[in-house]
């Protein structure tokens, strides 16, 4: 019996991790092209609210997801235009949009607070759902959850195995070299920023229509998710598979917070709910330690064998950002 | 193009940004079936309609100004101190903590207020230093380190309000038990604003202006912000300067948090930072990091905030609208700056 | 492919980089373009390869006028350019680098491409491993990769921009052999360089540019004097070598072991005398930059000690070295040298040794900046930001910012990217300091510069460091062989003598 509860919990982690996975992959694609879209926190809230609203009005889940995608793409277009065409600071514009979109979501969402809307149901996969253990965890999910899992591998394959994917890596690494190889750097940066943004926009409605149904204004509990997505993108080393691992880790920590609540009555429940956020950020420590100067100096003092082993461990954990991340490209 | 022309051109583009922001918000209001003119008038009257309201604007202005002063120090060093919200919160927590120690003691209230405010500044500085440590010794970008610390500060604050410091019997979102009146910052007769806090704000502004414009320390900070490797090679201890700028910012943020407790709410509440930290980041961007424009722009933002309170009461609109107005204003001014640069290049 | 330039003009603001250039290049030849830094060679080549559009003038390929819009367009016309800094993607594998930019289906066939790659490289005797990551390659190997890639893309004309900087003697021979094969196949090779010796042995014909003007064309065989005169417009006399070193030791390395993954440099012993100039020769990435940075505390040595004027500073950071009279001028001027966005006056305020109060005496530092601008002939104003200065003026500014009494100055590529006059000026100023007892420790990729100005030379080859060589008795040829890893046996002989001398 308790085994079933754990399986159910893990299935829940896969489901509640789905929006984070989708958003992280969107941001990974954007950053692989060399653009940072920092607006995620606002975009997820705005698309969550608007997607929910559209679904309530039209009673169509599809239109709700479509609305969210459009919101994400639109905001990403603003980021792309201001940073690629107008060469303004990506961090500044992204931050402003993160705040403004959040306020916009709260303002526009006021009338639909607490409304009843459609909810995406799970549809299990015949045959596969009967596989012991895995069937319960993976194959009794909603369509969007399946999509999120497929997306991990599609994105990984695209970036590392296809011709345009190789060029994408090049654009983010050294745009000048991509340019002499015939890439239209500016256009591709626009494309990947907008596609990445659209994926992020898909994450919002996935919350309000499935994972945490409904829009409840400031207590919807989505504020902060976008920032976590950005942190996971770094944690994932700009690799969709590793990033997905980070996303599930976060979802798992959130679930753990809920499960442990009855046993840890001395800690206010609000604290347990917030705890996964700083934990995820502390995870960044591990992937970044190797980039610090004192680590280099410390390594130099270690004995030979230990040093080589330590360097190897650090190098596998370390995540190196694309070489031209955040820098505008100019044709000389 | 001479400098005069360049400046007036810049000004023109900034006005253009303002117009676009107002236009954008107007469209939003039309979309939700509200009368834009009524809403703008309501905000204006909400901020200036009577002397109580004007005083309320200054109640917001003081912490906003202090926070932004601090942020100018971190921006000068090239740092995005997004952890500012947590620094305000921890400042407020420290202030509350020290004040609680003296509840019912015979120590003079003046000394208690001074001690608790100093504690608040210390708290803000510690929290800012943590973000600095994460950056220098952990390699964690200050944006993410700051966010993590914001989450922790929020959790700590809520944990205290609902846990150790909860009101006897009724732990609630309304915060801790209010402090007795002798622990409040003295205010004008009948108004919420304290002359003391306005004094702090003005002194803070003057200090930060001269620190950044006129001192060797300010120039070194600027060098660190513009080119950290070169600055190090020129003999500037760079990480120490970054840490110092974090600490300075934390002191200001902590003071803002302390004023929120001693001068405004007289207790600890869950949203004690009132979002002033992020608003300060916006103001700093809008004034292009120049202290000169800080006081009036912060006043404008404060007025919008207070004016926005009337929106839900009178028009049944969410007060987040003022946030949208502030955000789009900064966004459009920044975009227009970019347009102007392109325009100048083409010439 | 025959290439013809007709009346090419190109200006950048007030600077005229190319002025009415007219000449043509026949297919099947290796054509040299010679000129010092800033002569307009690179601008012309960037016009030919589609980076720039000329202000006026025409390019004719096989007699037909063409307009080349972009580098990708250039390769369609069959023109490929090999840049001085290879434009490749270091974190990716060789074969991926090879594929990026190639037209074809969504999913490239690695198997087939690897096969073609291997076939192509054997024609030139290259032995690259297609699965290797580019960041593990030497500059020379990265060049080989780029040449293969351009040929595979269908290049009929190859432009090589200063290709012999930073590669070994063997790699240079391999490169030249490959270029000769290509010319025989009827391809056009354009070889851009400021190195006379390379041009002399390789090129069938050479065009000499000076200050944007075509001074003339000469066919092989060449008279070196004539080339020099055309290149510089006058006979250049470099400063005399004058050894002013004194006997007291200012700097000492004892059994130094430094590591910067994957580079390891072991067992370096060395003493520097006051007023002495030491040159560090080697191809780029042979370890000289790692050792130099270890000498100033920017990298911590794993074992051994660094002693500055009798004081053990091992493991201390750069600022501690600065306090003891050591100063370091890095190669990347705007990243590690000067602070972009700050004015000259602000630089003097930061770097000045004056005792500083809380507030800045702005008037004083303005005047100081103006005085130094005058003294060092910097073209600029005290309120100019450093990034608005030209490279030569930036270097002068960096020099003028150095403190007065220094015991050691360490420099990386002190004259890279400078025109000859600025370079001579730079060394004049450095030598003045040597007279006052300052020692100089410098890295250069230019062997002639090393031989010209050093008293002693340390040679680097993939992490190995030679014992100091006397510059007077070392020839250019010998030095060239050593940086390529040849002739080290003799040097090790010297080392044994050196050690036995030290013992006796």
Q: What is the distance between the alpha carbons of residues C65 and C43, in angstroms, rounded to a whole number? A: 19
Among the partner-chain residues A38, A107, A277, the one whose CB lies closest to the CB of B148 is A277
Q: Is ipTM > 0.85 here?
A: yes
* Cβ–Cβ below 8 Å for A177 and C108: no
Whether B254 is in a domain gets the answer: yes
Looking at residue A135, its pLDDT comes to: 82
**pLDDT one-digit tens code per residue, C297-338:** 988 888 899 999 989 998 888 999 999 999 999 888 888 889
B133: domain CATH number is 1.10.3470
Token pair 């990403």: residue: A76
What six digits make up the tokens of C162?
């200063």
CB-nearest to A278 from B151, B321, B342 is B151
Q: Report which DSSP code applies to C478.
A: H
The domain total for chain A is 1
* Tally of domains in chain B: 2
**In contact, C344 and C386? CB cutoff 8 Å:** yes
b/e per residue A206-217 (b: at least 16 CB within 10 A)? bbbbbbbebbbb
* Residue A242 falls inside a structural domain: yes
Backbone angles phi, psi at C148, to 5 degrees: -60, -45
Model pLDDT for residues B107-134, shown as the tens digit of each residue: 899 999 999 999 999 999 999 999 999 9
Which residue's entry shows tokens 């809380």?
C358
Tokens coding A192: 């990947």
Burial class (CB in 10 A: 0-12, 13-18, 19+), C111: exposed
The answer to whether residue A284 scores a pLDDT higher than 80 is yes
User: Are B241 and B337 in a shared domain?
Assistant: no
Residue C502 banded pLDDT, cuts 50, 70, 90:
very low
CB-based burial label for A116 (10 Å; 0-12, 13-18, 19+): exposed
Candidate ranges B310-314, B327-331, C281-285; pick with highest mean pLDDT: B327-331
- Sheet of C56-61, strand order: C15-25, C3-12, C56-61, C64-66
With H, G, I as helix, E, B as strand and everything else as coil, classify residue C449.
Answer: helix
Residue A269 has pLDDT above 80, yes or no: no
Does residue A91 sit at the B interface (CB-CB below 8 Å)? yes
**B220 vs C322, C337, C350: nearest CB:** C350
Chain segment B199-208, per-residue pLDDT in tens: 999 999 999 9
**Whether residue A289 has pLDDT greater than 90:** no
Is C489's pLDDT higher than 70?
Answer: yes
The verdict on residue B83 lying in a domain is yes
Kindly state whether residue A323 falls inside one of the protein's structural domains.
no
Decide: A291 and A319 in contact? Cβ < 8 Å: no
C-alpha span between C415 and C440 (Å, rounded): 14
Q: Which helix (H) or strand (E) holds C281?
A: strand C277-281
Do B217 and B164 lie in one domain? The reply is yes
Distance (Å, rounded) from C-alpha A270 to C-alpha C501?
Answer: 77
Instruction: Tell me whether residue A59 is in a domain.
Output: yes
The residue among C470 and C492 whose pLDDT is bigger is: C470
- Residues on chain C touching A167 (C-beta within 8 angstroms): 100-101
Chains in touch with B (3+ beta-carbon pairs under 8 Å) read: A, C
Exposure pattern of C370-387 as b/e (b: 16+ CB <10 Å)? eebbeebebebebebbbe
**Residue B281 forms part of a structural domain:** yes
Residue B342 belongs to a domain: yes
Backbone angles phi, psi at C427, to 5 degrees: -70, -35
From the list A316, A319, A246, A287, the residue with the least C-alpha distance to A24 is A246
User: Which range of residues forms the domain containing residue B329?
Assistant: 1-34+317-347
Contact C358 B231 (CB under 8 A): no
Report the SS3 class of residue C401.
coil
The CB-based long-range contact list for C420-427 (8 Å cut-off, 24+ gap) reads C420/C36, C420/C37, C420/C232, C420/C236, C422/C392, C422/C395, C422/C396, C423/C449, C424/C236, C424/C238, C424/C239, C425/C377, C425/C396, C426/C395, C426/C396, C426/C399, C427/C239, C427/C453
Residue C284: its pLDDT value, please?
73
Cβ distance of B233 and C336 shorter than 8 Å: yes
Domains belonging to chain C, first-starting first, are 3-232 (3.40.50.300), 249-337+405-503 (3.40.50.300), 339-400 (no CATH)
Nearest to A166 among C100, C261, C299 (CB): C100
Let me know whether B293 and B341 are in one domain. no
Q: What angle do CA B167, B173, B178 make, to 5 degrees?
A: 45
**Strands of the C79-82 sheet, one edge to the other:** C79-82, C157-161, C188-193, C30-34, C205-210, C213-219
Q: Would residue B62 count as lying in a domain?
A: yes
**CA–CA distance, A182 with A192 (Å, rounded to integer):** 17
pLDDT at position C503 is 43
Of C494, C452, C448, nearest in space to C469 by CA: C494
CA-nearest residue to B25 within chain A is A104
Chain A residue numbers touching C99 (CB-CB < 8 A) = 163, 166
Q: How far apart are CA A50 and CA C137, in angstroms?
A: 52
Which among C75, C87, C90, C100 is the top mutation candidate for probing chain A, defined by the most A β-carbons within 10 Å of its own β-carbon?
C100
Decide if A322 is inside a domain: no
Average the pLDDT over C84-112 and give the result: 89
d(Cα B301, Cα B280) in Å, to the nearest integer?
9
To the nearest whole number, what is the mean pLDDT of chain C? Answer: 87
Q: Which of B82, B328, B335 sits opposite A82 (nearest CB)?
A: B335
Mutation site for A-interface testing, chosen from C101, C111, C299 by largest number of A Cβ within 10 Å: C101
Least confident of A6-10, A313-317, C94-98, C451-455: A313-317
Q: What is the CATH number of the domain that holds A89?
A: 1.10.3470
Query: Please, are residues A96 and A104 in contact by the beta-carbon 8 Å criterion?
Result: no
Of A115-129, B238-252, C84-98, which one has max mean pLDDT?
B238-252
Q: Are B325 and B299 in the same domain?
A: no
Residues B333 and B197 in one domain: no
A125 in a structural domain: yes
Yes or no: say if B328 and A86 are a contact pair by the CB < 8 Å rule. no
Separation between Cα atoms, residue B122 and residue B134, nearest integer Å: 18
Nearest to B284 by CA among B56, B81, B62: B81
The per-residue pLDDT for C236 is 55
CA separation for the pair B179, B109 (Å, rounded) = 11
For residue A76, being part of any structural domain is answered with yes
Residues of A in contact with B138 (CB under 8 A): 284-285, 288-289, 292
In a domain? residue A128: yes
Same domain, B294 and B333: no
pLDDT at position C79 is 95
List pLDDT tens digits, range C221-261.
Answer: 888 888 888 887 765 555 566 677 777 889 999 999 988 76
Do residue B69 and residue B160 come from a single domain? yes
Task: Clarify whether residues B243 and B325 are in a common domain.
Answer: no
**Chain A nearest CA to C477, separation (Å):** 35
- Cα separation, A106 vs A41, whole angstroms: 13
SS3 C164: coil
Concatenate the DSSP letters of all residues of C296-343 into one string: TTSS--SEEEEEETTEE-TT--HHHHHHTTEEEE-S-IIIIIS-TTSB
Residue in A164, A301, A311 nearest the CB of C261: A311
- For residues B134 and B216, state if they share a domain: yes
Mean pLDDT (whole number) for B50-63: 93
CA distance C206 to C203: 7
Q: Closest residue of C to A157, CA-based?
A: C107
Residue with tokens 């000067």: C338
Same domain? For B64 and B195 the reply is yes
Residue B259 located in a structural domain: yes
Tell me if residue C66 falls in helix, strand or coil: strand
Q: pTM here?
A: 0.91
Give chain B as a 3 state SS string.
CCHHHHHHHHHHHHHHHHHHHHHHHHHHHHHCCCCHHHHHHHHHHHHHCCHHHHHHHHHHHHHHHHHHHHHHHHHHCCCCCCCHHHHHHHHHHHHHHHHHHCCCCCCCHHHHHHHHHHHHHHHHHHHHHHHHHHHHHHCCCHHHHHHHHHHHHHHHHHHHHHCCCCCCCCCCCCCCCCCCHHHCCCCCCCCCCCHHHHHHHHHHHHHHHHHHHHEHHHHHHHHHHHCHHHHHHCCCCHHHHHHHHHHHHHHHHHHHHHHHHHHHHCCCCCCCCCCHHHHHHHHHHHCCCCHHHHHHHHHHHHHHHHHHCHHHHHHCCCCHHHHHHHHHHHHHHHHHHHHHHHHHHHC
The domain in which residue A42 lies consists of 2-317
Which residues from B are below 8 Å from C349, CB to CB? 216, 219
The pLDDT of residue C178 is 93
What residue in A sits closest to B288 (Cα-Cα)?
A: A92
Same domain, B203 and B261: yes
Measured distance CA(B21)–CA(B15) in Å, rounded: 10
C253 forms bridges with which residues in the sheet?
C270, C306
* Closest Cα in chain A to B171: A268
Alpha-carbon distance of B228 to A70, in angstroms, equals 40
- Per the CB < 8 Å rule, is C334 touching B214? no
Chain A hits for C105, CB-CB cut-off 8 Å, are: 163
């Amino acid at each position: 019996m308790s085994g079933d509860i754990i399986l159910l919990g893990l299935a829940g982690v896969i489901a509640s991790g789905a929006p984070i996975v989708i958003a992280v992959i969107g941001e990974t694609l954007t950053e692989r092209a060399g653009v940072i879209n920092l607006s995620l926190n606002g975009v997820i809230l705005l698309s969550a609210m608007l997607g929910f609203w559209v679904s309530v009005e039209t009673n169509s889940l599809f239109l709700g997801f479509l609305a969210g995608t459009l919101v994400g793409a639109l905001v990403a277009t603003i980021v792309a235009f201001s940073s690629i065409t107008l060469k303004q600071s990506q961090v500044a514009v992204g931050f402003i949009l993160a705040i403004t979109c959040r306020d916009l979501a709260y303002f526009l969402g006021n009338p639909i607070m607490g409304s009843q809307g459609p909810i995406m149901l799970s549809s299990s996969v015949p045959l596969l759902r009967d596989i012991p253990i895995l069937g319960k965890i993976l194959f009794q999910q909603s369509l969007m959850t399946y999509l999120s899992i497929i997306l991990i591998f599609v994105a990984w394959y695209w970036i590392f195995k296809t011709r345009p994917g190789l060029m994408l890596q090049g654009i983010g690494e050294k745009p000048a070299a991509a340019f002499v190889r015939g890439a239209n750097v500016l256009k591709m940066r626009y494309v990947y920023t907008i596609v990445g943004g659209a994926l992020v926009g898909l994450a919002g409605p996935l919350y309000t229509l499935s994972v945490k149904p409904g829009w409840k204004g400031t207590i919807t509990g989505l504020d902060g998710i976008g920032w976590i997505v950005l942190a996971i993108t770094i944690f994932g080393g700009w690799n969709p598979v590793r990033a997905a691992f980070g996303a599930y880790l976060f979802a798992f920590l959130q679930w753990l917070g809920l499960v442990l609540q009855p046993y840890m009555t001395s800690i206010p429940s609000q604290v347990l709910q917030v705890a996964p956020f700083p934990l995820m950020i502390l995870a960044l420590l591990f992937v970044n330690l190797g980039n610090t100067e004192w680590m280099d100096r410390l390594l130099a003092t270690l004995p030979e064998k230990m040093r080589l082993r330590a360097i190897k461990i650090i190098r596998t954990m370390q995540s190196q950002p694309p070489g031209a991340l955040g820098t505008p490209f100019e044709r000389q | 193009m001479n400098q005069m022309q360049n400046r007036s051109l810049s000004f023109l583009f900034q006005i253009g940004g303002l117009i676009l922001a107002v236009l954008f918000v107007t469209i939003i209001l039309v979309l939700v079936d509200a009368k834009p003119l009524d809403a703008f008038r309501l905000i204006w009257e909400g901020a200036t309609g009577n002397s109580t309201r004007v005083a309320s604007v200054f109640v917001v202005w003081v912490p906003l100004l202090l926070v932004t002063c601090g942020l100018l120090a971190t921006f000068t060093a090239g740092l995005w101190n997004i952890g500012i919200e947590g620094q305000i919160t921890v400042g407020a927590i420290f202030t509350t903590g020290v004040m609680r120690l003296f509840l019912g003691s015979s120590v003079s209230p003046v000394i208690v207020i001074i001690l608790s405010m100093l504690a608040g500044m210390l708290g803000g500085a510690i929290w800012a230093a943590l973000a600095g440590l994460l950056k220098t010794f952990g390699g964690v970008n200050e944006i993410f380190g700051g966010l993590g610390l914001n989450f922790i500060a929020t959790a700590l604050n809520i944990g205290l309000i609902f846990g150790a410091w909860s009101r006897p019997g009724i732990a609630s979102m309304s915060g801790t038990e209010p402090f007795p009146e002798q622990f409040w910052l003295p205010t004008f007769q009948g108004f919420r604003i304290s002359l003391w806090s306005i004094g702090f704000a003005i002194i803070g502004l003057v200090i930060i202006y001269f620190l950044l414009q006129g001192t060797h320390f300010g120039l070194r900070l600027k060098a660190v912000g513009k080119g950290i490797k070169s600055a190090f090679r020129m003999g500037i201890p760079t990480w120490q300067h970054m840490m110092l700028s974090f600490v300075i910012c934390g002191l200001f943020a902590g003071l803002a948090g302390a004023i929120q407790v001693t001068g405004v709410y007289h207790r600890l509440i869950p949203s004690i930072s009132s979002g002033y930290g992020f608003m300060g980041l916006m103001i700093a961007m809008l004034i292009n990091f120049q202290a000169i424009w800080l006081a009036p722009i912060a006043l404008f933002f404060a007025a919008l905030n207070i004016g926005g309170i009337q929106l839900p009461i009178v028009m049944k609109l969410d007060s987040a609208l003022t946030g949208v107005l502030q955000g789009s204003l900064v966004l459009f001014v920044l975009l227009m700056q970019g347009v102007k640069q392109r325009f100048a290049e083409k010439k | 492919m025959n290439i013809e330039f007709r009346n090419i003009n190109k200006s950048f603001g007030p600077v005229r980089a190319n002025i009415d250039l007219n000449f043509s290049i026949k297919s099947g030849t290796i054509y040299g373009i010679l000129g010092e830094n800033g002569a307009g060679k690179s601008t012309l080549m960037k016009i030919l390869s589609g980076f720039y559009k000329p202000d006026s003038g025409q390019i004719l390929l096989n007699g037909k006028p063409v307009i080349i819009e972009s580098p990708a367009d250039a390769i369609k016309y069959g023109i490929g350019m090999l840049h001085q800094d290879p434009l490749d993607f270091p974190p990716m594998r060789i074969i991926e680098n090879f594929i990026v930019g190639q037209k074809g289906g969504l999913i490239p066939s690695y198997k087939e491409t690897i096969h073609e790659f291997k076939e192509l490289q054997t024609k030139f005797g290259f032995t690259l491993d297609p699965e290797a990551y580019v960041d593990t390659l030497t500059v020379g190997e990265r060049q080989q990769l780029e040449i293969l890639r351009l040929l595979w893309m269908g290049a009929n004309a190859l432009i090589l921009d200063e290709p012999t900087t930073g590669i070994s003697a063997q790699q240079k021979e391999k490169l030249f052999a490959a270029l000769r094969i290509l010319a025989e196949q009827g391809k056009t090779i354009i070889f851009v360089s400021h190195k006379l010796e390379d041009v002399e042995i390789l090129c069938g014909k050479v065009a000499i540019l000076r200050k944007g003007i075509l001074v003339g064309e000469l066919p092989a065989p060449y008279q070196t004097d004539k080339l020099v005169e055309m290149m510089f417009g006058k006979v250049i006399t470099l400063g005399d070598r004058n050894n002013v070193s004194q006997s007291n030791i200012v700097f000492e390395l004892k059994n130094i072991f430094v590591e910067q993954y994957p580079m390891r440099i072991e067992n370096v012993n060395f003493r520097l005398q006051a007023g002495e100039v030491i040159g560090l020769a080697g191809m780029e990435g042979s370890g000289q930059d790692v050792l130099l940075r270890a000498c100033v505390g920017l990298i911590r040595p794993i074992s051994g000690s660094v002693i500055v004027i009798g004081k053990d500073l091992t493991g201390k950071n750069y600022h501690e070295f600065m306090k003891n009279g050591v100063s370091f001028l890095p190669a990347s001027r705007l990243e590690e040298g000067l602070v972009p966005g700050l004015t000259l006056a602000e630089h003097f305020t930061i770097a000045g040794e004056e005792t500083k109060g809380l507030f800045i005496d702005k008037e004083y530092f303005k005047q100081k900046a103006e005085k130094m601008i005058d003294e060092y002939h910097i073209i600029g104003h005290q309120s100019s930001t450093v990034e608005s200065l030209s490279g030569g003026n930036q270097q002068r500014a960096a020099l003028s910012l150095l403190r007065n009494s220094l015991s050691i100055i360490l420099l990386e590529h002190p004259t890279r990217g400078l025109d000859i006059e600025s370079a001579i000026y730079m060394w004049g100023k450095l030598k003045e300091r040597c007279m006052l007892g300052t020692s100089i420790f410098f890295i250069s990729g230019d062997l002639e510069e090393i031989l010209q100005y050093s008293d002693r030379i340390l040679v680097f080859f993939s992490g190995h460091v030679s014992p100091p060589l006397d510059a007077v008795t070392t020839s250019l040829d010998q030095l060239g062989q050593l940086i390529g890893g040849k002739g080290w046996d003799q040097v090790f002989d010297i080392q044994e003598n050196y050690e036995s001398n030290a013992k006796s």
